[in-house]
Chain A
């Protein structure tokens, strides 16, 4: 069963890659501009860190690492599971899930994998470069960093499914879903050192952007088994919640009876 799903996933990826390569200028443009986009943001933060040197104990290298982790994690989502974003929300809102529901594949998995964005490659490159240049990666913590990276990517996927399921419960909510994801990404992109007390608790356990911006740096500087378990549990927990929320929402789904062939 899992092998079949993987095979199906690879077929979808191949199709997405072919379609992205069809417009070569756009394909390479997306990668280059995405790298430049991340570079511009980094220059801005570098200038700020130059002015203040340290912000609540964080040096620029900490920010670089955090930024790299968030960007690289987002790239996995963008490259492989972009369908879980606005695409899913719009399918639900317009009652166009039917082509996915009548197939023998897992509908959620199918929708998530059905869209891929080449700009993710630009993010992956710049994210990995940022983490490497931060100087915080050592052979000893590489395993933990990979785990945190995968957990962050899973969290992006989970939050995207969670937000995209809102149209099951509220009308005309696809824009809201997109904006919520944007807020989530924005908050994750700010140095986690600025939050404390209740805000920190909320950002770790309720709106878990802090799992990417607060905990990884704490984990790098003061490693502990408890912290990595917390990061993994929150990611897996939110993934479970996202799947539950999608299938609960599916019970309320109203088709538009607008059956048509889908692209992938």
Chain B
């Protein structure tokens, strides 16, 4: 466990040393939040009267989606793909840590440093955009942050899956784009899933994206302990499921490396 903690701390330290990149991320997040808010203001002015979501709640909902999006490390799939394509992954056999575990710890370390910074600036901006109001279920924020971390783990495992898919696809980038768009749409990062037709809502909630995105973010305006526990449970199930698939892929990969060399 100590080995993984060391990897996590190393990733966290690296993030702190890249403040310029981090500030660019903050800026990007604020711009996107402003655009989302502008979009929803226009929509609300025309038709949103029938919807139950209040503008303040919506801004915070979008902020949570942005935290998930901008808090994760970029290029993780690319680095894994490079390890697979160049055969460098063979060197990992010598290390006393699991390759997948190490990559997950790197993601977690990055997220844990970025989260408070993005939340600080994003929170101030969200309060400003919503005219000084806080969301309906603001007191549930600590629980939401824990669930958000679980979401991050689910999505990072998905990214590791994309990186390892280079073993079969040669190039993981197109799959990454597709998964990223599925995250936006099926995860409800742009639009709450309740706006979708029923079939699309059902489809979204049967993928890991539904619980990782909408499942967590909607708690900011519709919190209940039952929903929180259900979301947490489903996220844990997805973590176990995807980890199993990754383990299998890793075994296949190692077999290939053992036959063909690094």
List which A1-56 residues lie within 8 A (CB) of chain B.
23, 25-26, 29-30, 32-34, 36-37, 40-41, 43-44, 47-48, 50-56
Known pairs A47-B196, A179-B28, A199-B38; A34 contacts B174 (CB<8 A)? yes
Tell me the interface secondary structure of chain A in the complex: helix
Per a CB cutoff under 8 Å, which of B38, B170, B175 touches A23?
A: B170
Per a CB cutoff under 8 Å, which of A34, A122, A175 touches B24?
A: A175
B residues less than 8 Å from A56 (CB atoms): 42, 46
Per a CB cutoff under 8 Å, which of A23, A54, A172 touches B46?
A: A54
Per a CB cutoff under 8 Å, which of B24, B182, B195, B200 touches A179?
A: B24
Known pairs A37-B177, A44-B185, A183-B28; A176 contacts B195 (CB<8 A)? no
Tell me the interface secondary structure of chain B in the complex: helix
Give the docked Cα–Cα distance between A191 and B42 (Å).
11
A128 an interface residue at 8 Å Cβ cutoff?
no
Known pairs A41-B184, A54-B46, A175-B24; A47 contacts B169 (CB<8 A)? no
Q: Which residue of B lies closest to A54 (CB)?
A: B46
Residue count of chain B within 8 Å CB distance of chain A: 35
Q: How far is the CB of A259 from chain B (nearest CB, A)?
A: 24
Question: Is there an interface contact between A175 and B35, defined as CB atoms closer than 8 Å?
Answer: no
B52 an interface residue at 8 Å Cβ cutoff?
no
A190 an interface residue at 8 Å Cβ cutoff?
yes
Q: Report B44-88 CB contacts with A as 1/0, cut-off 8 Å.
A: 001110000000000000000000000000000000000000000
Question: Is there an interface contact between A41 and B185, defined as CB atoms closer than 8 Å?
Answer: yes
Question: Is there an interface contact between B35 and A52, defined as CB atoms closer than 8 Å?
Answer: no
Question: Is there an interface contact between B46 and A194, defined as CB atoms closer than 8 Å?
Answer: no
Q: Which residue of A lies closest to B175 (CB)?
A: A33
A186 an interface residue at 8 Å Cβ cutoff?
yes
Question: Is there an interface contact between B24 and A187, defined as CB atoms closer than 8 Å?
Answer: no
Give the docked Cα–Cα distance between A193 and B32 (Å).
16
List which A163-182 residues lie within 8 A (CB) of chain B.
172-173, 175-176, 179, 182
Greatest chain B CB density within 10 A among A25, A41, A172, A182 is at A41
A residues less than 8 Å from B177 (CB atoms): 33-34, 37, 119
Give the docked Cα–Cα distance between A193 and B43 (Å).
10
Question: Is there an interface contact between B190 and A44, defined as CB atoms closer than 8 Å?
Answer: yes
Give the docked Cα–Cα distance between A172 and B24 (Å).
12
Give the docked Cα–Cα distance between A29 and B162 (Å).
13
Question: Is there an interface contact between B182 and A40, defined as CB atoms closer than 8 Å?
Answer: yes
Give the docked Cα–Cα distance between A43 and B180 (Å).
14
Question: Is there an interface contact between B174 and A30, defined as CB atoms closer than 8 Å?
Answer: yes
Q: Report B12-52 CB contacts with A as 1/0, cut-off 8 Å.
A: 00000000110011001001100100110111001110000
**B positions within 8 Å CB-CB of A:** 20-21, 24-25, 28, 31-32, 35, 38-39, 41-43, 46-48, 169-171, 173-175, 177-178, 180-182, 184-185, 190-191, 195-197, 200
What would be 21 A-B contacts, judged by CB atoms less than 8 Å apart? Answer: A23-B171, A25-B169, A29-B170, A30-B171, A37-B181, A40-B178, A44-B184, A47-B191, A50-B197, A52-B46, A52-B48, A56-B42, A119-B174, A119-B177, A179-B24, A183-B28, A183-B32, A186-B32, A193-B42, A194-B35, A195-B38
The 6 closest A-B pairs by CB, nearest first: A33-B174, A44-B185, A26-B171, A26-B170, A40-B181, A47-B196
